[in-house]
Structure 1
Amino acid sequence: MNYVKITPSKLQGEVTIPPSKSLSHRAIIAAGFSKGKSVVENVMFSEDIVTTCNAMEALGVKIDKVKEADNIYTLKIEGNSDLKLLKREIDCSESGSSLRFFIPICLAEKNDVVFTGRGKLVSRPLDQYYKIFDKQGIEYSNNNGMLPLNVHGKISPGEFTIDGDVSSQFITGLMFTLPLLEGDSKIIINKTLESKGYLDLTMDILEKASIEIVNRDYKEFLIKGNQQYNSKDYRVEGDFSQAAFWLVAGVIGGKIDCLDLNSSSRQGDKEVIDIIKRMEGSLINGSSSIVAKTSNTKATVIDASQCPDIIPVLAVLAAVSEGTTEIINAGRLRIKESDRLTAITTELNKLGADLEEKEEGLIIRGKKELTGGEVESWNDHRIAMALAVASIRCTDEVTIKDSGCVKKSYPTFWEDFKKLGGNVHEWSVG
C-alpha cells in the first residue's frame, strides 16, 4: 500500500499535460485494424493503455514501443484485420474502456473468449451487451452478473438499440466493430445521450482511418459493413481530463502553465475551461497552452452529464469557492472506479469541506480554506489526484492512502506535483 503526505504549498510553473487516454485507446485500436503500418506518437503507458495494447496483441496485432520521454512512447503498429484470438483470455484489469470496447471487437469473428478484470470493474454493468447477446443468440455466462464473462459466438449486423445514459463506451465498441461485418447496421440511441464528446473522439479517429459513420443528430448512427480501416500516422494530443487537475490547482493557489493542449480539441472534458471561467477563475488561452492564475472563484451550477471525469476536481474547486455550488446529472459517477459521489463527499469532508451528497449530484458550500488530515483514494485515480489538489488550500498536512492508484491513467502525477513545488513525502507499507 502506497501513501503520500503533502505539506500544503502553492504550485507554480510549467507542466506538460499527458496525452489523452481516451484518444490513445482509440488510435491504437484503429491502427490495429488497419492494413499496413501506423505510427501513434505521444502515448503514455498508463495501466489502462497497457491493457488495450495487450488486448490488441491477443488479436494478432504487432506493437513495437519506442521510448521518447519518461513513460511516453511512440508505437509502431502493424495491423491485422483477421481478428482471430491468439489466446482465449482478455484481462481488462481495471479499464472500463478496454472491457466495453473489446467485447464486441472480439466477436467480429466467431471466437470463444473470456473477459476478466479486477477492482470495481468486476461489477460494472454490461447489460447493454447482454441484451444484444440475447437477441442474437450469442452464448454467454458470468459470475452472478459480474466478471469473468465467457462469450462464444459472432456478432451479426443489424439494428442495435443502446441506452444513451449508461455509458458511451458501449456505443464506441459497436462503432469500431460494425464496419467490419458483412452487412449494414444501425445504432439507435434510447434515452438521453450523455458523454457525446467521447463519441466525437471515436468518430474523428474512425474518419481518419477511412471508416464512414453517418450521424443523425446523435439519435441514430448508420454504419455500412465491409469497410476497410486504412493506416494513418497520428500524434495524441494533451488530455483535458488530466489538465483539469492543474488548471484547478493554479486557480486555487499558484500560477500554472499547462502545455500541449489543443484549443480546438473535440474532447468533452474541454468543458472544464468554460466551467472554471464561469466560476471567475483566471485562465489565459494560448495556441497550445493554458495558464491558470490564482483567483477568487464563485459558486455555479455544474451539469456533469457530458463531463463526468472532471467532477471530482471541480468539487475541490467548489469546496473553496464563495457560495453554494450544485452539481447535477451526476448519477453515472456512482459506477466509475469508485462511487465517486460518495468518495469525494466522504474524503473532502474529512479535510474540513462542506459537501452534501444527493442521489444524482452534490451540494457544495464553499469555504475559504480547508483543514487537513488523512484521507483514502478509494483505489480511484481521479479521487487521489483531486485530494492532492485540495491540499493546496489546507492548513495542515494531508495524507493520502493508496496513492499509487494514479498509475491507472497518470503514472507521473506525483513527479509532476513535485516539479510544480509540491512538498510530497512518499512511502509504502507491506
Structure 2
Amino acid sequence: MNIKVYPSQVHGSIKAPASKSYTHRVLFCSALANGRSIVRNPLLCSDVYATINALRSVGVEVYVNNESIIVDGGELTQPQNPINCIESGTTMRFTVGLCSLINGKSIVTGSKSLLRRPIKPLVDALNVLGAKCTCINGLPPITVEGVLKGGSVLVDSSLSSQFISSIMIAAPKSSIGVEIRSIVEPVSKPYILITLDVMNSFNVSVKYSNDFKFISVERQNYTPKDFTVEGDWSSAAILLVLGVVGGMVTVQGLNMNSFQGDKSIVDLLKLINIPIEIGNNYVSVTKHLIKPFEFNISDTPDLFPILCVLSACSIGTCRLYGVNRLRFKESDRVVAMADGLMKMGVNVALSSDYIAIKGGRVMGGVTIDSYNDHRIAMAFTVLATIADNPIIIKNAECVSKSYPSFWDDVRRLGVKFEVV
C-alpha cells in the first residue's frame, strides 16, 4: 500500500499506544511463570503477534482479546516446526533464549530482513552456558538444543542489549543461575532497565552493577502477574515531533517515571526551548522554531528516524551520533533516512558514526521508499506535513509492526493523506 501525504496542520490529543518493549517482555516472563498471568493494555501489533505465536509453538497457552492477553505459563515443550519470528528481532532473540530451556531441538527463523540481523553474540553466550546453539556466519536461522546449565559468561553487547535481556529472562530457569559480564558497556541500557523492571514485577531478583557490565541472576521461579502495560514513548516521540513542526499535539497515557529511554525526547525538546507542558500522564507541545542540536542515540536508537526529521526542520545543522548499529535494524536506517531526506531536498552529510543534517526548505514532490521499516514510514509522514509538495510513501502499511492505529491517529490530528 502506497500513501500520499499532503502538507497539513495538526491539532489534537491522542492516547499513546502501549509499549511494545514492555509487552514483549511481559509475555516471555508470563510464559515462564507457573500459572495464569494477565497482560492488560497490551500492544497488539505484528511484532507482538510474532511473540504470541512463538510462545504457542513451545506449548504455552495464550488467549488474546481486545483489552488483554491471558498467558498460562510454566511447562515448555519442543516445537514441532521451525519458529518463524517474521520481522521481530526482539521475538527472535528472546525466543532463542527461551528455547535453550527446552530439552530437544528447536529452530528459530524469520523473514528475509530478520535473517540479516546479527545473532552470534547470543549464540556464543548460550553455548558457554551449556546450551547447544548453531547458526551460519553469525546470522539466523538458529538451531537450539537445551538445556541451559548456567555459570559465568562474557557477552559482546556492543550491537544490541537484547542479547543480555534474552539471557536474563532465561537465567532464572537455568540449573545453577547465570552471571553475565559484558566486554564493553552495553548499548541501549534503558532496555535492560525495562527487562529488570518486568522481571522484578514477576518476583525475580537480579543483581547488577550500575553500568550493567555485571549482572547476576540466581535460579528461582517466576510468579504469575496481573500486569498493565504503560504507554509507548517511541510512538509518543513521533506524535510530539509532529506537533512541534506542524501545530499542537497532546499525547496522553504516558508514564513520566518510565524506564523507557525514548522518554528523553522530552529533555531534548526542553533543551531547544520548545513550548512543552508536562502533566501526570501527558505531554503537550506547540509548533515552534527549532534550534540546532546534537544528540547521541546510542541508548535510544528508535528515536533516530524522527530526530532526523526534527533536524531537517531546524534553523541550522544538527548532528546525531552513535548511528553505526542502526544499519542492522529492519532496514539500514542510516541509508534509508539519508536517501529520503536528500530526495526531499535536505542537505545531509554522513561520517563514520554520525549524521549531519542541515535544516531548511523541504521540497517534497517525491516518492519515498520506506524499506518496509515502520519507523522510516512514520518519520517521513511527519516530514511530509511541512513539505512544499505532497510525498508518496511506499509500503506504508508497515507501520502495523509497532503502531497499527498510526494512520487513524494522525488523521484525527489533521494529517491529510490518501491511498494511491
TM score, norm. by length of structure 1: 0.94
- Work out whether residues 341 and 361 of structure 1, in 8 Å CA contact, stay in contact via their aligned partners in 2: no
Q: Aligned pair 1:406/2:389, yes or no?
A: no
Q: Equivalents in 2 of 1:205, 1:280: separation in Å? A: 34
The superposition leaves residues 356-405 of structure 1 with CA deviations (integer Å, 9 ceiling, x where unpaired) of 12221200111154433211101100000000000121010110011111
- For residues 350-361 of structure 1, the aligned pairs below 5 Å read 350-361=343-354
Q: Which has the higher strand share?
A: 1
Matched residue SS, 1:393: coil
Following TM superposition, by how much is the alpha carbon of 1:253 offset from its aligned partner in structure 2, in angstroms? 1.1
- Secondary structure in structure 1 of the residue aligned to 2:42: strand
CA distance in 2, matches of 1:136, 1:368: 54
Whether 1:299 aligns to 2:292 is: yes
| CA positional deviation for 1:139 | 4.2
2:142 matched residue in structure 1: 149
When the two chains are superposed, the root-mean-square deviation of aligned CA atoms in Å is: 1.5
C-alpha contact (below 8 Å) 1:10/1:254 kept by paired residues:
yes
* SS of the residue 2:54 aligns to: helix
- Return the letter of the residue paired with 2:287: T
Q: Does residue 280 in structure 1 map to residue 292 in structure 2?
A: no
- Alpha-carbon deviations, 1:220-250, whole Å to 9, x = none? 011111x110011111111000011100000
1:369 to 1:350, Cα distance in 2 relative to 1, 3 A: closer
Deviations 1:143-178 (A, max 9, x none): 554332222332220112112321010100001111
Rounded to whole Å, the distance in 2 between the matches of 1:133 and 1:289 is: 41
Q: Which amino acid aligns with 1:31?
A: S
How big is the shift at 1:192?
Answer: 2.5
Match of 2:10 in 1: 11
Where 2:51 maps in the other structure, the secondary structure is: helix
What displacement does 1:272 show?
A: 1.1
Q: Mind listing any 5+ residue stretches in structure 1 that lack a counterpart?
A: 68-72
Which amino acid is 1:146 matched to? L
User: Does the 8 A contact of 2:345 with 2:363 survive in 1?
Assistant: yes
Measure the CA separation in 2 of the matches of 1:17 and 1:402: 23
The counterpart of 1:338, out of the listed 331, 335, 338, is 331
Give the match's secondary structure for 2:385: helix
* 1:110 positional shift: 2.0
Asked if 1:202 is matched to 2:195, the reply is yes
Unpaired runs of 5+ residues, structure 2, are none
2:37 alignment partner in structure 1: 38
Question: Which of 361, 365, 368 lines up with 2:358 in the alignment?
Answer: 365
**Is 1:213 equivalent to 2:206 in the alignment?**
yes
Q: Is the 8 A contact 2:241 2:306 kept in 1?
A: yes
State whether residues 352 and 372 of structure 1, in contact with CA within 8 Å, keep that contact through their aligned partners in structure 2.
no
How far is 1:332 from its partner? 1.2
Contact 2:10 2:248 in 1 (8 A): yes
Aligned residues: 419
The alpha-carbon distance between structure 1 residues 128 and 146, as it changes in their structure 2 partners (threshold 3 A), is: closer
Contact 1:322 1:368 in 2 (8 A): no
1:264 matches 2:257: yes
User: In structure 2, how many angstroms separate the alpha carbons of the residues matched to 1:84 and 1:184?
Assistant: 21
What do residues 308-357 of structure 1 show as CA deviations (whole Å, max 9, x unaligned)?
Answer: 00110011001110111111112111111111111100001111111112
Q: Residue 45 of structure 1 aligns to a residue in which SS?
A: coil
Q: 2:160 aligns with which of 161, 167, 171?
A: 167
Q: Is the 8 A contact 1:370 1:393 kept in 2?
A: no
Larger displacement relative to structure 2 (58-67 or 243-252):
58-67
Of 197, 216, 228, the residue aligned with 2:221 is: 228
Q: Which residue of 2 aligns with 1:61?
A: 60
- 2:247 partner letter: G
**Residue equivalent to 1:103:** 96
- Percent identity between the aligned chains? 32
Aligned equivalents of 1:145 and 1:65: distance in 2?
A: 34
Instruction: Report if aligned partners of 2:99, 2:144 keep a CA contact under 8 Å in 1.
Output: no
